Amino acid sequence: MLFSLFLVILHFDIFSQHTSKNNYTGTWLTTTSWSPTWATPTTSISGYNITIYGYITVNGSLNFSGSGGDLFVNDTLVVQGDLSFGSNNNLTVYTGGVLIVRGNLTAGNKTDILANSYIVITGNFTASGSQTTFSSPISPSSVFIGGTVEPVDGNVTDCPGAPGYITNCNYGNIDQDLQNDPISSFVNTTCLVVPTAYNVTGGGSYCEDGSGVEVGLSSSQSGVHYHLKIGGVDTDSPVDGTGSAISFGNQATAGTYTVRAFDTTTFCASTMTGNITVTVNTLPPTTLIYHELEGN
């Protein structure tokens, strides 16, 4: 009897959690991504904890349910789909960790989400219970939410360090906020599809008293923002793609121009093909000629 009880306790201790390998890159459903080896990995987690070290990718959605089904991210976890938690499931992203959800994140009642580092959600965040918390104690917050937040109140997220709740958590304006954050380039490496590269058009030279020369793009995609840059800095607000050629208007500042495209749904970016140069030609100096009039 005691031996049987010992086996039950031993079984619970070994299999009540799974931990991915440290300094390792792999996919969730690969048995050797886990230490010790997880014989039958599943993306439907119930009643046990998951701890992430290394760089693990879930090629689809991930679901936690049942008491004790918590997720701890120490390194990098990329979910190419939705991430959902039932009641009493918790998510903690530790300092130095990164969680990228290329879909929606749903949290059940009494679910606590703590972001001590980056959480990037390209879709919506939904708290289905009144006792759900989503907090980020670091300042400025490293939480980026591309879609909506429901319900929108102070109980959903608590990210100190910025003037307002929405601005602080950086959702709704992820086009600008995420692109200006150091994590942007890494997030882009997790994209399955990036905006199509089109040719930058226009440019040339004009006289300094002119209105500049037109700069454009040979084509564009709907749902994509196009940023015209000079020296890596946006010249103005982005231009929406139309499915055909677009214009950034006349540009009067001398320099080399490039275009960066940003998909407003997937938050994936790419640089357009080529660049153009705008040159300002100075006007020749005015020469005054005096003629002496001969008097009679």
- What is the arithmetic mean of pLDDT over 52-57? 97
Task: In whole angstroms, give the CA distance from residue 181 to residue 164.
Answer: 19
- What is the arithmetic mean of pLDDT over 100-109? 92
DSSP 176-198: HHTTTSTTHHHHHHT-SS-PPP-
List the single range of 10-14, 84-88, 275-279 with lowest mean pLDDT. Answer: 10-14
Task: For residue 215, list its beta bridge partners.
Answer: 202
| Domains of the chain by residue range | 15-189, 200-281
Q: What is the pLDDT of residues 212-268, one digit of tens each?
A: 999 999 999 999 999 999 988 889 889 999 999 999 999 999 999 999 999 988 889
Task: In whole angstroms, give the CA distance from residue 151 to residue 157.
Answer: 10
Task: For residue 44, list its beta bridge partners.
Answer: 63
Q: What is the pTM of this model?
A: 0.79
Indicate the residue type of 20: S
DSSP symbol at 211: -
Task: In whole angstroms, give the CA distance from residue 219 to residue 241.
Answer: 8
Task: In whole angstroms, give the CA distance from residue 70 to residue 68.
Answer: 6
Q: Which pLDDT score, from 0 to 100, does residue 67 have? A: 75
Q: Which pLDDT score, from 0 to 100, does residue 156 have? A: 43
Q: What is the pLDDT of residues 171-191, one digit of tens each?
A: 445 666 777 788 889 999 999
**If you classify domain 200-281 with CATH, what class do you get?**
mainly beta
Using pLDDT thresholds of 50, 70 and 90, give the confidence band for residue 5.
Answer: very low
